[in-house]
Chain A
Amino acid sequence: MTSTPSTTAFDDRRPISMSFRNSQSGRPSSPHTPQHHLRSNNSSFASTSSASTSFRGEEDAIIFEFGSRWLRAGFEGESTPMCMVGCGPEESRRVGDYRGWLKSNNETDTSHSRLVKAEEWTGAYELWDMNLRDLDLALVDDKIERMFRETYNKYLLTDAGTSRLVLVLPSIIPHPLLSSLLSTLFSRWRFPSITLLTSAPMAVTAAGLRSALVVDIGWAETIISGIYEYREMTVRRSTRAMKSLLQETGRLLTRLSNDSEASQSADEISVKFELCEETASRFLWCRPKAVPQGSTEILEQQPAESDEDDVETADKHTASLSDETVSLPCPSGSGTTYIDIPFSKLADPVDKVLFAEGLADCELDDEEKPLPLLVYNALLSLPPDVRGTCMSRIVFIGGGSNIPGIRQRILKDVASLIEKYGWSPVRGKVIEQQRQKLQSLRLSQPQLPTVTKQEDTNEPSDSGSEKSTSEPQEDDEEVDPVEQKIRRNNKDKDAKPPVQGVLREVESLGPWAGASLLTSLKVRGLVEIEREKYLQHGLAGATRDLEMHGHAPDRRSGLRTGGDRSSWTLAGWG
């Protein structure tokens, strides 16, 4: 799009610099590199001659990222997807049904607000639900087919099925769903092959990292995956995600629109979904509130007004914000009337849904842990080395990460959790008592907790290389001979050790961009499903042989896809 002039310029220069570099390093024996890049560049900038389109392999792969609500699509090598397509009721109307365009006329019909159960209210907008029990797979097929067709016809503007397809999928997807997705695509169009990539490692790639803790605040669930060297080490899930957040916002708006008849049962929503989503995307925000810290239990109501300077400034913000009112279009009206609502009220759904405000820890089920706790647990379950690496590379993706302030809030809460519990999974009253006893034995001055508190909340906010928690401090003192040796052996004299042990956020361009990046570098994923193979056996044809993965280092000798084309694998999805 807009950046193409610069990128083409860059591409022209690239080979030159490469060869220059090669001669510099005194290794002229590898002339393959410029060649390689030349080729990839040529193909990624679509065919100055139309002849190149005839070579199927040279054509740019097309990347689709599937979420449960949106489909992102675009070409490899581009930084943002070409389009983002949803599958709401508007998109699943009949062909020739232009009701969506007649909204003004139909206002009288539709505005009589119906109460809808929260699940149905959001369910109409989902492409699929991971719970396959009530899912009509044929309907999903229909939706996918239409979405793909329209994406190709409207946005990608290329012939469907001629080029390789790359799908970015969540790392867990039910086999029936995967099978129906692949069957639809393969039988509807002639894709030569479909490559599957997992979304979390792609997000890591798009952040320029190799290891990270990916916090995906998605639609149905928040998935936290610890990625170390591009491998998924641990996955934690919570149902506290955008779906329930939207439902909560819907309830809030419903209450606002008709507080006279407050007798409605709490689960029903009368507001239009579009309006609610619009409100949520525009106005939902997250308080930078510090949760109860250290051993002091709950001072939630007035969140630490004068405790620390950082929180104080944040509180100044919130204090000033609490007076502000914003006007939203009246949820029950026709769109011309507005209602005023305190701005601070718009942070309530986030607090309640994503952070489980006002609920004791013990009341929560395993699948509905609040996000900070989930992040903490995910970190806790990682081995210490990995944990140190991951905690300073926290990557937020998913729709929820766009809520202003939420990332800092999560980081702060995690920091306070770390400070409270350390890295010990042991909890309980007795333990707490013992710890307190020990503490009181060890240090008799009561000021200390606040001091540590201060350190802790300051440092993550600095987000620098300073060491914050106890572990990195130990790290500093500890001289690890092995580590040093490795570092010495590493030829790139990377004087700076990688940032470790600090809570730090790294921004990612998102899974789609990661996949685009990888594909444009001609890196092939492990799961590459070829058309003929799939059409013979379907998913059942995938090799489940885990030996394959064990032998992978050998296969890397160059012929990864050479000899054993007969077998393919689903890798992580298998």
Chain B
Amino acid sequence: MSRPFPYAFISCPCANIPVPDPAKKRRSRDSPQKSNPDKPKPLLPPDDEDEQTFDPRSPRANFSLYPPEQLLYCEDCHQIKCPRCITEEIVCWYCPNCLFETPSSMVRSEGNRCARNCFNCPICTAPLAVNTLENVVTGGTSQQGPWVLSCGYCMWSTLDIGIKFDKPTNIRTQLSKMTDATPSRSRQMSRTFGDLKSPLSTYSSIDEAFLPPGESKPEDPLDQPSAPLNPDARFNALKNFYKNQISATSSSPTDPLGMDFGAGFSSPGALNRIMSLYTSSSRLSSLYGGANKKPKTKPPVMREALTAGEGLKVPSPDAEDALIQRMASPDCGWDGLASLEQRSFQSPDARFVDDLLPLPVLLRTKRSKRCKSCKHILVKPELKPQSTRFRIRLIALSYIPLPTLRPLNPGPQQAATVLPTPTAPGSTTNPNLDALSPLRPIQLLLTLKNHMFDPVRVTLATPSVTPGRVASKVTILCPQFDIGANSDVWDEALQGASATTTAANTATPATATTTDPRGSRSGGLGVYEKVAEAGKVWDKGRNWTTVVLEVVPGTLPGGVKRTLKKYPANELEADNHPSNNNNNNDDEEDSNSDSDSDSSVALDWSGQTSDPNQQLQPDEDVLEIPVFVHMEWDSDNQIDQEQGVGVGRGSSSDTVKRELAYWMVLGVGRIMREVV
């Protein structure tokens, strides 16, 4: 995983709601999309999950798991919202390079790219700088001379493709003029752009455009096979051609009505003649007077493009030989050919590095986000591109408890911090989470921190054996606990002991007096002498609670090979199989199949098996624990919300019971191959 261990992902509950296929729900009249937007029942996902544990390794899981900080929360639906269950509206467009805002009317015409001087290197995508070629400092400041775009990272510059600019401003217009109109670059290219023309210039005048076809014959493709238009110009030529054809073939007297109506009405004959894909032959019917349409004037049939000016391109047979020659030549080589990534935004003809043009920077957008089901705004950024502030931002972390995980050190905790660090420096006993040894139990502290102003009752559930082939045993020592409200720190200090007695039932007195979790961890002597006990909360603070997870990492397929050398076989068996059996006995049905198959495969742990099923799949050695979180809280009604926690809790008539349930995935670490 890219994130350092340990980490936590949260699965948005929307993944469990399948995309409704309207065809299947045909009998139910109401459209399934209008599923009650006010309150999707939070209990629905757990009902589904009764049959199915969340498998963090399934390919679909990747699309529903999000880091907690990326999730939003809809206050009206009382539901977590991931990028899939929101709709977005663009607030403004801006260039990430120069931070200029582009007005919405200009965005499309500029091709969604910055129209100023911002360019990316076509080779390495680093931003390009406008530099002058001649550093003539004549008379102080004047830097006259041709200008180039150059990359500070890979030293590419537009000189490599033979482009210089006259001015240091408006580079993009200069560049597009150059690439569209002049064949200056084509000297290196295999095909000449000699006849590169703007679409209009294919017809030098209007009269020429409507020459009878016989007269335009001289420029038919046979005579000038080596004068292809570039794709852009060809496209415009084709468009031009089709428009002419449509207007030429649709000028029947029945049509003038058409203009009064929409596009669907005007000159239908012509439109259909060009493109009625699946209707019966319009050509024949018009030729032979089928369906007695337009009996007086048989309109000319749309013809196909005949000349290069109309967009036809007949490639010359030896066009590609030169390409092949160039590919094979020693001065081209691997680096002379453009990579797929480099080609992705270039002209489709670009094959060599020399064909690549500097790319204007893609614009970015600021978007406001709405809940998809109730349309309430969840995120609204400020309009200005420079501002990073938000007017509205309902992030999920202020509603759901923030999970953090860290290993529990059996020894003295000189280096423990609230922030989980995979390897705390200085403590040798701290388990290295990047190399967990299989079958050795480790204890982890899972801290859930509440950001709501209401105390929350949390129930955690986890399959006792993680899904997948690497079956690790997981036990949450205290699966049900309360988290205190995120009351004001001063409030709590003033209220003193009364607040803690209501919130904590199993808390130790040491934590009750401390308001800072850091203080309770690092300072309290009693902490590290504690032993994790089943059914007891490990630690508890003002708005957080820590429980202990006990994890026995499973063995990897093919991972025990070295231990087979070390230990006699029966010892390993004694080590391995009883534990497996224990698993299966106290398991639910869901994980049985997994561990069963696992133990059956276990006979052939040779590590070098050619059977790919036995080989380790990528990331299969990552120990990830799916945990089902169910939280319940009494929230105040909206009106009373300002009054604070102490008042709301007492009067039960004002409160609404809310619950939220979701899956979360805790990434513990990577399991080592061999048993130590």
A46 to B612, Cβ gap below 8 A? no
B277 to A538, Cβ gap below 8 A? no
Q: With A and B bound together, what is the CA distance between A520 and B271 in angstroms? A: 12
A32 to B23, Cβ gap below 8 A? no
Q: List 27 A-B contacts (CB under 8 A).
A: A14-B243, A32-B259, A94-B9, A95-B66, A97-B2, A136-B60, A142-B63, A152-B88, A157-B93, A158-B108, A159-B88, A187-B33, A197-B277, A207-B305, A208-B238, A208-B311, A211-B304, A282-B334, A490-B301, A491-B300, A492-B248, A494-B303, A495-B217, A509-B238, A521-B243, A523-B275, A541-B23
A526 to B315, Cβ gap below 8 A? no
A404 to B316, Cβ gap below 8 A? no
B140 close to chain A: CB less than 8 A: no
Contacts of B24 in A (CB 8 A): 538
B59 to A461, Cβ gap below 8 A? no
A185 to chain B: closest residue by CB: B19
Contacts of A383 in B (CB 8 A): none
What's the minimum C-beta distance from B354 to chain A, rounded to whole angstroms? Answer: 14
Choice from B222, B248, B293, B314 contacting A506 with Cβ under 8 Å:
B314
Count residues on chain A whose CB falls below 8 Å from chain B CBs: 184
A146 to B63, Cβ gap below 8 A? yes
Choice from B20, B21, B274 contacting A523 with Cβ under 8 Å:
B274
A421 close to chain B: CB less than 8 A: no
Which stretch, A289-297, A362-370, A446-454, A549-557, touches the partner chain B?
A549-557
Q: With A and B bound together, what is the CA distance between A125 and B348 in angstroms? A: 22
Choice from A32, A184, A405, A491 contacting B324 with Cβ under 8 Å:
A405
Known A27-B251, A94-B65, A158-B90; contact A493-B315, beta-carbon cutoff 8 A? no
What's the minimum C-beta distance from A215 to chain B, rounded to whole angstroms? Answer: 14
A104 close to chain B: CB less than 8 A: no
Known A79-B232, A537-B22, A562-B264; contact A549-B83, beta-carbon cutoff 8 A? no
Q: With A and B bound together, what is the CA distance between A376 and B64 in angstroms? A: 48
A285 to B198, Cβ gap below 8 A? no
B344 to A84, Cβ gap below 8 A? yes
A537 to B23, Cβ gap below 8 A? yes
B274 to A521, Cβ gap below 8 A? yes
Q: With A and B bound together, what is the CA distance between A104 and B143 in angstroms? A: 41
B406-418, CB under 8 A of A: which get 1 and which 0? 0000000000000
What's the minimum C-beta distance from A186 to chain B, rounded to whole angstroms? Answer: 8
B266-297, CB under 8 A of A: which get 1 and which 0? 11110110111111111101010011010000
Which stretch, B110-118, B469-477, B485-493, touches the partner chain A?
B110-118
B323 to A404, Cβ gap below 8 A? yes
Interface size class of B (residues with CB under 8 A): 35 or more
A1 to B62, Cβ gap below 8 A? no
Contacts of A562 in B (CB 8 A): 264-265
Known A46-B109, A229-B281, A338-B334; contact A2-B21, beta-carbon cutoff 8 A? no
Q: With A and B bound together, what is the CA distance between A389 and B70 in angstroms? A: 57
A538 to B291, Cβ gap below 8 A? no
Contacts of B442 in A (CB 8 A): none
B304 to A553, Cβ gap below 8 A? no
What's the minimum C-beta distance from A470 to chain B, rounded to whole angstroms? Answer: 21
A358 close to chain B: CB less than 8 A: no
Choice from A2, A20, A153 contacting B367 with Cβ under 8 Å:
A153
Within 8 A of B (CB), among A105-141: 110, 114-117, 120, 136, 138-139, 141
Number of A-B contacts (CB under 8 A): 439
Known A24-B210, A343-B328, A520-B239; contact A138-B19, beta-carbon cutoff 8 A? yes
Contacts of A507 in B (CB 8 A): 228, 313-315
Q: With A and B bound together, what is the CA distance between A96 and B108 in angstroms? A: 30
B217 to A141, Cβ gap below 8 A? no
Which stretch, B157-165, B171-179, B589-597, B635-643, touches the partner chain A?
B171-179
Choice from B19, B109, B265, B300 contacting A45 with Cβ under 8 Å:
B109
Q: With A and B bound together, what is the CA distance between A5 and B228 in angstroms? A: 21
Which stretch, A300-308, A320-328, A427-435, A437-445, touches the partner chain B?
A320-328
Q: With A and B bound together, what is the CA distance between A505 and B212 in angstroms? A: 26
Contacts of A317 in B (CB 8 A): 321, 324-325
What's the minimum C-beta distance from B404 to chain A, rounded to whole angstroms? Answer: 15
A288 to chain B: closest residue by CB: B321
**4 nearest interchain CB pairs?**
A538-B23, A208-B305, A32-B259, A79-B235
Contacts of A114 in B (CB 8 A): 615
Contacts of A549 in B (CB 8 A): 278-280
Contacts of A387 in B (CB 8 A): none
Known A32-B255, A463-B225; contact A21-B206, beta-carbon cutoff 8 A? yes
Q: With A and B bound together, what is the CA distance between A31 and B305 in angstroms? A: 26
B647 close to chain A: CB less than 8 A: no
Contacts of A534 in B (CB 8 A): 22
Known A10-B200, A99-B1, A526-B279; contact A506-B236, beta-carbon cutoff 8 A? no
B19 to A571, Cβ gap below 8 A? no
B567-584, CB under 8 A of A: which get 1 and which 0? 000000000000000000
Known A157-B363, A556-B276; contact A407-B320, beta-carbon cutoff 8 A? yes
B383 close to chain A: CB less than 8 A: no
Q: With A and B bound together, what is the CA distance between A565 and B238 in angstroms? A: 32
Within 8 A of A (CB), among B535-554: none
Q: With A and B bound together, what is the CA distance between A505 and B234 in angstroms? A: 16
What's the minimum C-beta distance from A365 to chain B, rounded to whole angstroms? Answer: 26
Q: With A and B bound together, what is the CA distance between A159 and B315 in angstroms? A: 40
A89 to chain B: closest residue by CB: B618
A498 close to chain B: CB less than 8 A: yes
B299 to chain A: closest residue by CB: A491
With A490-B301, A521-B239, A536-B22 known, 15 other A-B pairs at CB within 8 A are: A2-B175, A16-B206, A33-B267, A53-B104, A83-B345, A138-B60, A282-B327, A326-B333, A407-B315, A407-B320, A408-B320, A507-B315, A522-B263, A540-B23, A560-B268
What's the minimum C-beta distance from B227 to chain A, rounded to whole angstroms? Answer: 13
Q: With A and B bound together, what is the CA distance between A188 and B20 in angstroms? A: 10
A256 close to chain B: CB less than 8 A: no
Contacts of A460 in B (CB 8 A): 317
Contacts of B209 in A (CB 8 A): 17
Which stretch, A35-43, A218-226, A237-245, A471-479, touches the partner chain B?
A35-43
Contacts of A157 in B (CB 8 A): 90, 93, 107, 112, 363-365
Within 8 A of A (CB), among B209-253: 209-210, 212-214, 217, 220, 222, 225, 228, 231-236, 238-243, 246-248, 250-251, 253
B302 close to chain A: CB less than 8 A: yes
A540 to B303, Cβ gap below 8 A? no
A146 to chain B: closest residue by CB: B63
Within 8 A of B (CB), among A64-84: 75, 77-80, 82-84
A571 to B278, Cβ gap below 8 A? yes
B236 to A187, Cβ gap below 8 A? no
A46 to chain B: closest residue by CB: B108
A329 close to chain B: CB less than 8 A: yes
Contacts of B615 in A (CB 8 A): 114
A274 to chain B: closest residue by CB: B340
What's the minimum C-beta distance from B565 to chain A, rounded to whole angstroms? Answer: 21
Q: With A and B bound together, what is the CA distance between A538 and B1 in angstroms? A: 39
A208 to B310, Cβ gap below 8 A? yes
B258 close to chain A: CB less than 8 A: yes
Choice from B15, B200, B231, B291 contacting A79 with Cβ under 8 Å:
B231
B650 close to chain A: CB less than 8 A: no
B387 close to chain A: CB less than 8 A: no
A492 to B213, Cβ gap below 8 A? yes
Q: With A and B bound together, what is the CA distance between A235 and B597 in angstroms? A: 46
B587 close to chain A: CB less than 8 A: no
A535 to B33, Cβ gap below 8 A? yes
Contacts of A282 in B (CB 8 A): 327, 334, 337-339
Q: With A and B bound together, what is the CA distance between A524 and B212 in angstroms? A: 29
Within 8 A of A (CB), among B155-197: 173, 175-177, 179-180
A156 close to chain B: CB less than 8 A: yes
Contacts of B20 in A (CB 8 A): 183, 187
B65 to A95, Cβ gap below 8 A? yes
A1 to B67, Cβ gap below 8 A? no
A94 to B62, Cβ gap below 8 A? yes
